Amino acid sequence: MYPTNETANLNSINYLLNGIQKQTFHDSAHHIYSWEIAVYDSVKKTGRK
């Protein structure tokens, strides 16, 4: 039994939304990580003076 068009559309919308959320979460986590490294580097540099 094949799903109706509505079900198929809902499934692909959910799939897209989940993918977007995961991607956004991954991107923001990566940005936070890079930001922490940058802060750590600048703190190390100022600490040397």
Secondary structure in 3-state letters for 1-41: CCCCHHHHHHHHHHHHHHHHHHHHHHHHHHHHHHHHHHHHH
Q: Which pLDDT tens digit goes with each residue over 1-49?
A: 566 778 888 888 888 888 888 888 778 877 778 888 888 888 888 776 5
CB within 8 A of 11, min separation 6: which ones?
3
11, 3 in Cβ contact below 8 A? yes
3-state secondary structure of 49: coil
* pLDDT of the residue at 23: 80
